[in-house]
Structure 1
């Protein structure tokens, strides 16, 4: 994996200089417009029975992933290609908003917003005096949410979340521009959703058009093997009944989705119990669904074997 060299010194962030190197900005062909991208990162967690470690053991827990994202906010993510005026936003999203009241969580504690500062001096003061404490509060509040969900898991309807829950907080489309001399300075957001789920999509409707249950994957495998098809993708296109109905939320066109911790129930200590595996089928159906739903960009990964692997996947997706 190729890494972009990061600014190692804390004081570079604190600098009040407005000088920015050409490699750290996107300049148009007329050398007049400078576009700076800021991160709007939402981490949404499937708080269903997938949290049960006895049923679905994992090497990396959701709490460790959240901690990983929080620890990389500053300086790695915040300082990436910028030394001042960062507008980044980090938030915990809810697939099922009823979980907010059910688990008595404070959503304000699960959001760190660098765009709220009007001046660089305020941002510097926050980094120096408040950030570390707010980061601890961020992690602590998620841990409280997670612990409650383990004791009493709620359903997580991912299809409906994509259709209705992906709103203008998850996807910030506004672009702010200012003119300095003959140059236009533009700030825009790069909207990213990190989705932690096992990949089995279940809804209260129990409708094949909206979910992807273990039973449906078993049926897909059976008919695929009977068909003699050599390609899972080709079989899916010829058998659209196995497809998930596309989402019609236009905001997805400006959203990048990183799906982590897909859990293969056909994976055993001795290896795969059957082929094609649940994971292989899951990836094909998810890919078709996200493509037909016009998601801007996506990547799908199975459960990681260690924290280092997970961190590399996240930072590579972010381009950091």
Structure 2
């Protein structure tokens, strides 16, 4: 083999090795943008005469959206954030039978991806007005749903409907310097407001979680003499909700406003284990079996401040 052929190849290999070594010494930084999907269960749970709770959904939704400028700063983010907040419908049929405008229920910082000056101006001057428009439209949605009640097919929402609201979470290289490699990725976050009971048009076992199943689990558990409720529920497949066909690996799910019907008006448990303790185990197992790595389930809160703190803390863990 000629020396003139060997030398160029050795030089190329040396350059490749040098580049790899340089990259290995660089600090890697991951920046996140949040795609926050707010999906309320608009079944009869929103009827406060039937199911009273401390804070109305609309107040909680408004509070989260009103804090969007604060959430932009999570994880020490200081500029270029492209977060999106939007209301989603578990049953999309509501959009087909009404005049709601999804754009009015969207706060989109992504629209300023190429102009940071406009973005800063929007936060100072335009954001407050859009939050008010968002809130007014959400109030209209709840008024309509209260007068036109329908079920909430939560199982099918996770299995099919949610797909169109998710964004690509693959990291993308956006910047680089002699010492830093910067990657950016989207993080899908679903904020689900529900009472915890799962309705479905499919009447088969494994698609519904009603009061009858909760009562059966409580009776079976108390009769078993077991001490670990989670282990007891997880060991019996007849208690489980079927995992979704769609893999939820790209979704982080925050489930809130579960109203524990086993508590009396003063908050004391009428039965043990409580409805919430049972429902929480089933939801967590179902969603994790469906691929979701990050799930948080909380009961109905007493103040909007408590709700925001819970949600913000969840985002900090992602």
Correspondences of 1:216-235 after superposition (within 5 Å): 216-235=213-232
CA RMSD of aligned residues (A): 1.9
2:130 aligns to what SS in structure 1?
helix
Q: How far apart are the structure 1 equivalents of 2:211 and 2:297?
A: 18
Please state if 1:97 is matched with 2:92: yes
The gaps in structure 2 that reach 5 residues or longer are: 1-22
1:257 match: 253
Given that 2:26 and 2:181 are in contact with CA atoms closer than 8 Å, whether structure 1 keeps it comes out as: no
Given that 2:37 and 2:165 are in contact with CA atoms closer than 8 Å, whether structure 1 keeps it comes out as: no
1:275 match: 272
Q: Which runs of 4+ in 1 moved over 4 A?
A: none
Q: How far apart are the structure 2 equivalents of 1:29 and 1:66?
A: 44
Q: CA deviation at 1:32?
A: 4.3
Q: How far apart are the structure 1 equivalents of 2:170 and 2:93?
A: 28
Please state if 1:155 is matched with 2:159: no
Q: How far apart are the structure 2 equivalents of 1:69 and 1:29?
A: 40
Q: How far apart are the structure 2 equivalents of 1:214 and 1:290?
A: 20
Residues 7-57 of structure 1 show CA distances to partners (whole Å, capped at 9, x for unaligned) of xxxxxxxxxxxxxxxxxxxxx963343321111111100000000111111
2:38 match: 43
2:183 match: 186
Q: How far apart are the structure 2 equivalents of 1:124 and 1:156?
A: 38
The gaps in structure 1 that reach 5 residues or longer are: 1-27
Correspondences of 1:266-305 after superposition (within 5 Å): 266-270=262-266, 271-305=268-302
Q: CA deviation at 1:181?
A: 4.1
1:91 aligns to what SS in structure 2?
strand
Greater percentage in helix: 2
Seen in structure 2, the aligned counterparts of structure 1 residues 227 and 171 have a Cα distance that, compared at 3 Å, is farther
Residues 147-196 of structure 1 show CA distances to partners (whole Å, capped at 9, x for unaligned) of 11122222111111111122153243243323444444322112111110
Higher Rg = 2
Correspondence for 1:82 among 77, 82, 86: 77
Please state if 1:125 is matched with 2:100: no
Q: How far apart are the structure 2 equivalents of 1:238 and 1:108?
A: 45
1:54 match: 49
1:130 aligns to what SS in structure 2?
helix
Correspondence for 1:241 among 201, 226, 238: 238
Given that 1:45 and 1:196 are in contact with CA atoms closer than 8 Å, whether structure 2 keeps it comes out as: yes
Seen in structure 2, the aligned counterparts of structure 1 residues 225 and 165 have a Cα distance that, compared at 3 Å, is same
Aligned residues: 291
Correspondence for 1:108 among 103, 111, 129: 103
Given that 1:95 and 1:157 are in contact with CA atoms closer than 8 Å, whether structure 2 keeps it comes out as: yes
Seen in structure 2, the aligned counterparts of structure 1 residues 128 and 236 have a Cα distance that, compared at 3 Å, is closer
TM-score (structure 1 length as normaliser): 0.85
TM-score (structure 2 length as normaliser): 0.86
Seen in structure 2, the aligned counterparts of structure 1 residues 266 and 122 have a Cα distance that, compared at 3 Å, is same
Q: How far apart are the structure 2 equivalents of 1:312 and 1:129?
A: 26
